[in-house]
Amino acid sequence: MTATFRMLTTGYVGPRTASTVSLVRDGDTVVVVDPGMVADRALILDPLAEEGVSPQRVTDVVFSHHHPDHTLNAALFPTARFHDHWAIYQNDVWTDRPADGFAISPSIRLAATPGHTAEDISTLVDTADGLVVFTHLWWSADGPAEDPYATDPEALHASRAKVLALSPALIVPGHGAAFEPDGATPA
pLDDT, tens digit (0-9, with 9 covering 90-100), for 99-152: 999 999 999 999 999 999 999 999 999 999 999 999 999 999 988 999 999 999
The answer to whether residue 178 sits within a structural domain is: no
Is 106 within a domain?
yes
3-state secondary structure of 45: helix
Is the Cβ–Cβ distance between 169 and 131 less than 8 Å?
Answer: yes
CATH code for the domain in which residue 150 is found: 3.60.15.10
Handedness of CA 49, 120, 187, 13 (dihedral sign): positive
- Is 50 part of a structural domain of the chain? yes
The verdict on residue 143 lying in a domain is yes
Report whether 178 contacts 7 (CB < 8 A): yes
Does residue 63 fall inside a structural domain? yes
Q: What distance, in Å, lies between the first and last C-alpha atoms of the chain?
A: 30
- Picking from 125, 142, 139, 123, the residue whose alpha carbon sits closest to that of residue 174 is 139
pLDDT over 90 at 1, yes or no:
no
**Total domain count for the chain?**
1
HSE-CB of 182 using CA atoms within 13 angstroms: 6
Q: Is residue 144 part of a domain?
A: yes
How far is the C-alpha of 41 from the C-alpha of 18, rounded, in Å? 11
Q: Is residue 112 part of a domain?
A: yes
Q: What percent of the chain has pLDDT over 90?
A: 97
Structural domain including 162 reads 4-172
User: Is it the case that residue 154 has pLDDT exceeding 90?
Assistant: yes
Is residue 158 a part of any domain in this protein?
A: yes
